[in-house]
Amino acid sequence: MTIDTSSTVLEASGVVAGYAGKTILQQLDLHVRAGEIVALLGANGAGKTTTLNLFLGFLAPSAGLVRVAGIDPARQSDAARRKLAYIPENVALYEHLSARENVAYLLHLAGQPAAAGAIDQALGAAGLAAPAFDRRVAGFSKGMRQKVAIALALARKVPALLLDEPTSGLDPQATAEFNRLLAALRAQGVAILMVTHDLLSAADVADRIGFLDAGRLREEVAAAGAERFDVRALHRRYGGVAA
């Protein structure tokens, strides 16, 4: 499949936004293209969650432009949310339902029902073991819950994925497996924006790493060469920003 990597799926241009009269984001410019993973790092209060809320349509900018696949999420929130999947730090699923039932029900709520075979295929592609398909998710680990959420994104075939601290609480093996899933989604042309404190994980999978500081995107660094990023240099230069 040929992916048009020139196509911008997530766009924020000159955005000013905040809450209760307090400005959080100041002239934010951020773009994520199809088939690209962008990691956004920054200290608490830098504006990472506010950025996600803009794309989710929970917050309207006071200035600037926000688009999800060309749709203004502040004006057409339902239409914009149909174009993206969101995986929070702690994935919320129906505890009394199985993995398969959760995906089926959430697809129904999204207006995108799928056959059982397609759901099983998505769960398998997300790395969940087949014996777990019919287990209640109440006993699932965080990594297993994330696989169910990834399966939902796969089944919905959305062009954009938003991630909030996706590797928090995961052991190194689970983190590596999760990053492999993200790489597979990127190969399918999904635009992925992840906010994180985990510079090492971001360096493993991201095409670009951006650093937010006081509501501004101070700099972006693109992956290059076999090593992708000079992590030590990033730690030295952005240690205070990416804390």
**Pairwise CA distance, residues 190 & 208, whole Å:** 15
Check if the beta carbon of residue 126 is closer than 8 Å to that of residue 147: yes
Helix (H) or strand (E) holding 65: strand 63-68
Percent of the chain exceeding pLDDT 90 equals: 56
**Sign (positive or negative) of CA dihedral 183, 124, 52, 90:** negative
Cβ atoms within 10 A of the Cβ of 5, count?
13
Do 235 and 181 belong to one domain? yes
- 4 with 75, same domain: the answer is yes
Q: What is the CATH number of the domain that holds 24?
A: 3.40.50.300
Same domain, 111 and 231: no
> How would you classify the pairing of strands 8-19 and 63-68?
antiparallel
Residue 63 is predicted with a pLDDT of 95
Amino acid, single-letter form, for residue 71: I
Give SS3 for 42. coil
> What's the rounded Cα separation, in Å, for the pair 61 and 74?
8
Q: Grade residue 243 by pLDDT with cuts at 50, 70 and 90.
A: very low
Query: What pLDDT, on the 0 to 100 scale, is given for residue 1?
Result: 44
In the predicted structure, residue 75 carries a pLDDT above the cut 60: yes
Residues 16 and 79 in one domain: yes
Q: Where are the beta strands (DSSP E) in 157-215?
A: 160-164, 191-196, 208-213
Between 6 and 146, where is the model more confident? 146
The model's pLDDT over 43-69, given as tens digits with 9 standing for 90+, comes to: 888 899 999 999 999 999 999 999 999
Is the domain of 207 the same as that of 238? Answer: yes
Shared domain check, 96 and 23 = no
Residue 149: phi and psi, rounded to 5, are -65, -40
Number of domains in the chain: 2
- pTM for the predicted model, two decimal places: 0.88
Picking from 111, 136, 157, the residue at the C-terminal end of a domain is: 157
Is the pLDDT at 126 greater than 70? The verdict is yes
- Cα–Cα distance, 112 to 154 (Å, whole number): 12
Same domain? For 3 and 77 the reply is yes
| Same domain, residue pair 31 and 79 | yes
- Which of 58-62, 167-171, 184-188, 212-216 has maximum average pLDDT? 58-62
- Among 135, 157, 179, the domain boundary falls at 157
Provide the domain limits for residue 28: 1-83+159-243
- For residues 145 and 203, state if they share a domain: no
Residues 169 and 72 in one domain: yes
pLDDT recorded at residue 23? 92
CA-based nearest residue to 37, from 62, 82, 3: 3
Q: What are phi and psi of 67, to 5 degrees?
A: -140, 145
Closest of 113, 83, 111 to residue 101, by C-alpha: 113
What value does the mean pLDDT take over residues 150-162?
Answer: 90
Position 49 scores a pLDDT of 92
Alpha carbons 144 and 132: distance in angstroms, whole number: 9
pLDDT for 6 equals 63
Give the lowest-confidence range in 96-100, 102-106, 211-215.
Answer: 211-215
pLDDT at 127: 87
In this structure, of 10-14, 46-50, 84-88, 167-171, the range with the lowest mean pLDDT score is 167-171
Nearest to 38 by CA among 228, 195, 242: 195
Residue 96 clears pLDDT 60, i.e. is over it: yes
- The reply to whether 166 and 144 lie within a common domain is no
Let me know whether 67 and 168 are in one domain. yes
For residues 50 and 18, is the Cβ–Cβ distance under 8 A? yes
| 113, 129, 157 - which closes a domain | 157
What pLDDT does 14 receive? 95
